[in-house]
Amino acid sequence: MSEGEDGTDPAFVADSTVVVENASVWFGQKVALSELSCSFGPGVTGLLGPNGAGKSTLMRAITGLIGVNAGEVRVDGRDPRTDRDVQGRIALVPEDEAVPAQLTPRELVRYVADLHGVRDPGAAERALDLVDMLPAADRRLRGFSKGMRQRSKVAAALVTDPPVLVLDEPLNGADPVQRVRLTDLFRSLGAEGRTVIVSSHVLSEVERLADRVLVLIHGRLAAAGNHRAIRDAMDDRPRHVLIRADEPRRLGAALLRLGTVAGVSLTDAGLVVTTERAGALAVAVAPVARELGVRLREVRPLDDSLESLFQELVR
């Protein structure tokens, strides 16, 4: 792991509320986390990783849902697995869709509020309003879409006003409008000084959500820092960009003459351009197409999926 700009390890923060030290978790023969060390503090931290990277396991260990087999996890200096009082300071929005189907969102939020001893009678309504669930608050969760279930779970987490909020793929299933709304909400919670840990396997999603990012691969920490630093770390690696245009052969030949393009290939999906300077290519491609009179239909980086990013990081 590279050091941060100020010489500190980017996996750790100075004012940490959650500390993970050499944590290992395994399920039978499968190692889910391997000697992972990092910390989380106020603000939004993104946990990135492909499916099976160990993000959910780390989040469940942080909330105490599972214990670590080796190492330790501390929240405010206490063990979340054994100290029940820690649960009053932490909330989890689990990834899975499981919800008490018989309940309505209002009943679920009130239930969680009662368990946490929330005395403010308006807390449940405010939490539901924050995620725009008041109009559907009295319908049963059974009939809800994935996005509405997620929002109901977010409301249940927010009703306790937790200093530490752990969100496992919270935008899954949300429509574009709700994504923006939830993203703004999580960012504002982080700006209030809460420790917000949010996982995703979509790079662009995490870029919008979090300034600080931890990348997990195979249960290990592969990279840490802000998302720009992680992208910068890949700048000298070849990137692939898909270009769909009316005359891909002519466009490909013209692009090859640019110094920024290392190679082109024509595929069924379109023209795939390999470059080590994706930014320069992005600037150049439109003028070249205009000059040729070629109509561009789509320009899309193929490496933006985290899987390809991770493949680069672990190569």
Partner 1 sequence: MSSRAPTERRAASPLTAIVRYTVRACVPSQRWLLLLPVAGAVLFGLLSRLSDETAVTAFVRVGGTALHTLVLPITCLVIGDALLGAEIRSGVFAFTWLSPVRYRTIVIGRWLGGCLIAAAVLVPAAAGAAVAAGAPSSAAPAAVAAVAGAAAYLALFLAIGASFKRPVVWSLALVILVERLLGAALDGIAQLSPGWLAQSVLVGLTSPAADLQREGIPSGWAAVGRLAVVAAVGLAVATRRLRSLRPASSAD
Return residues touching partner 1 (CB under 8 A).
27, 56, 60, 63-67, 84-88, 90-92, 94-100, 102-103, 106-108, 110-119, 121-122, 124-125, 142, 156
Kindly tell me which of 92 and 278 has the beta carbon lying closer to partner 1: 92
Q: How far apart are CA 242 and CA 267, in angstroms?
A: 9
Q: How far is the CB of 141 from partner 1 (least distance, A)?
A: 10
Q: How far is the CB of 34 from partner 1 (least distance, A)?
A: 18
Kindly tell me which of 52 and 238 has the beta carbon lying closer to partner 1: 52
Could you tell me which residues are beta bridge partners of residue 166?
92, 197
Q: How far apart are CA 244 and CA 290, in angstroms?
A: 14
Q: How far is the CB of 21 from partner 1 (least distance, A)?
A: 20
Identify which of 50, 48, 49, 55 has the alpha carbon closest to the alpha carbon of residue 32: 55
End-to-end C-alpha distance for the chain, whole angstroms = 14
Identify which of 57, 19, 21, 60 has the alpha carbon closest to the alpha carbon of residue 37: 21
Kindly tell me which of 83 and 276 has the beta carbon lying closer to partner 1: 83
Q: How far is the CB of 170 from partner 1 (least distance, A)?
A: 15
Kindly tell me which of 142 and 295 has the beta carbon lying closer to partner 1: 142
Quote the longest CA-to-CA distance of the chain. 69
- 164-168 β-sheet, strand order: 90-93, 164-168, 195-200, 43-48, 212-217, 220-226
Kindly tell me which of 67 and 238 has the beta carbon lying closer to partner 1: 67
Kindly tell me which of 118 and 282 has the beta carbon lying closer to partner 1: 118
Kindly tell me which of 60 and 151 has the beta carbon lying closer to partner 1: 60
Q: How far is the CB of 142 from partner 1 (least distance, A)?
A: 7
Q: How far is the CB of 37 from partner 1 (least distance, A)?
A: 22
Give the chain's radius of gyration (CA, Å).
22
Q: How far is the CB of 89 from partner 1 (least distance, A)?
A: 9
Q: Is 55 exposed, middle or buried (0-12, 13-18, 19+ CB in 10 A)?
A: buried
Residue 122 corresponds to which tokens in the numbers above? Answer: 């308006």
